[in-house]
A and B are shown apart, each in its own frame.
Chain A
């Protein structure tokens, strides 16, 4: 299976390369399909449409907010899951991965039942505070956070687990109180994991469709994020849908490639 060349055995077997090539094709071919069918001549016109620009801007705004919210809530959760021991910890961990396996539309319905106008919590939000989440941009952010936060929690928890606790002990012997230890030692050490988790979270939020349209609805400028716009464009103007999809892909690729080098420190 491996043929030594010039006396040195190859480090990766040929079979692994072959399978890896198939895997890569699996991702590349659909993208190639999109590029092949894109109406390059009409790109400018399609992208200039007001609703398209609205959808792109809304997608960016919502996904960034969703990532911020996921960081604010998900990092403490990941820390607790990794460090504290309490009854039901396994259950809580399983629940945080629930949105990953739930079909997004089902997630959207669940959010309605919880935060909708007549929802478990939503009815009080409405009655007491006049806060209504469905059909609002905040609702879109909530839907995206719901589906994307688990990615951050899982990655961050792994980071906290594998962080060397002895550095934290060293910090304590130097006089650092627990919050200082977390802020100046633990966080910087897990920063790469957190960055990776945040990127995954952001990418998932950006592409979210089912929960958003079910919970927040679809209205241009308020809740019509790019995936929703693409879906509707497929009905009427498939060419425009392809163009918009490619824009989304391009933005994601740019961010992922750029971030990996800077924050995640890999080749």
Chain B
């Protein structure tokens, strides 16, 4: 085994098939940063997390954490979950109902051979850190959602794991609690020295808690980068919808992006030939009832469909040769009588079409 180039990394090459899902992922996660694994339901996020935890065997691959080989199918090595230096925060917390909060937090320590009094002392210290020292004797069912989440976090951290895995940590909370807990969680995560991997389907959660986003779709990593990178340059329909932009993929070259079905978008950025993404902000889309005159190079006729109120603007779905979502003012909706549907003309300035390699 060669020494890893960067110590305290999680290097994971994971290939596994489970039901309809074929997971094939390569990750290199450094310590000191929180990475969010983002993706739609069924993308394989939780499966990947379980595989890293050792709860799901790999079909092929290798997982190395800070030099420790957690799993290597080629060499026939596989550490059971209890042998891995991990801490897991489950979506539904899974606090043992028959144990008190203190006993829950002390559980991992006791399993690893820490004497009872010492384990309870350390557990109490952790509960204090998450602000629940006074609820040490309470049973999980007596705790609120936010409190249970904090106990679960303390339990996962109490054993000083090197890899912290969080499975949708905020999704079980109501909106109000979620905000407050999110702040605290960020604080705790920041002080955790190991590798932190967080799974979520909520982009807000991902952006609020993580520095780096990894987007997973259909078992494959589609995109990785900072939140800013990812939102500026989405590389999949899923991310585009999350961010709220129109995204197309086609063949670029000579100022045009050729889309499937024969349509094309004109853009000065589409100079180099190749597989490209074309991005159009909804705000850059203009709607008219009559064919517009003037400069826009991208003009076509479509049919106005559903309207959605987004803040103070309205999003209009327009079907046509190039399906697109336009964002207009309510006044414009009234003026164009968009609520009645029917034919509309769509125009987008060529300069407003961003193009980047796929």
Contact = CB atoms under 8 A, between A and B. Distances in A.
A170 interface: yes
Interface in A151-181: 166-167, 169-177, 180
B112 A167 contact: no
B107 A173 contact: no
Contact of A174 (B80, B98, B108): B108
Interface residues of A, number: 16
A174 B155 contact: yes
Interface of B: 53-55, 80-82, 84, 86-88, 90, 92, 94, 96-98, 107-108, 111-112, 155-156, 159
Contact of A189 (B55, B82, B86, B98): B98
Interface in A165-220: 166-167, 169-177, 180, 184-185, 188-189
23 contacts: A166-B92, A167-B96, A169-B81, A170-B96, A172-B80, A172-B81, A173-B55, A173-B81, A173-B84, A173-B86, A173-B88, A174-B111, A174-B156, A175-B82, A175-B111, A175-B112, A176-B82, A176-B107, A176-B111, A177-B111, A185-B96, A188-B96, A189-B98
Contacts of B111: 171, 174-177, 180
Contacts of A185: 96
A126 to B, nearest CB: 46
B108 A175 contact: yes
A101 to B, nearest CB: 36
Contacts of B155: 174
A180 B111 CA distance: 8
B53 A173 contact: yes
B91 to A, nearest CB: 10
Contacts of A180: 111
A170 B94 contact: yes
Nearest to B88: A173
Contacts of B108: 174-175
B83 to A, nearest CB: 8
Interface string A204-238: 00000000000000000000000000000000000
Nearest to B165: A173
Contacts of A189: 97-98
A67 B87 CA distance: 40
B134 to A, nearest CB: 24
A166 B94 CA distance: 7
Contacts of B92: 166
Given A167-B94, A173-B54, A173-B81, 15 more contacts: A166-B92, A169-B81, A169-B94, A170-B90, A170-B94, A170-B96, A171-B107, A171-B111, A173-B55, A174-B111, A174-B156, A175-B82, A175-B108, A176-B82, A185-B96
Contacts of A176: 82, 107, 111
Nearest to A180: B111
A166 B90 contact: yes
A169 to B, nearest CB: 5
Counting chain A CB atoms within 10 Å of each CB, which of B53, B54, B90, B96 scores highest? B96
Contacts of A171: 96, 107, 111
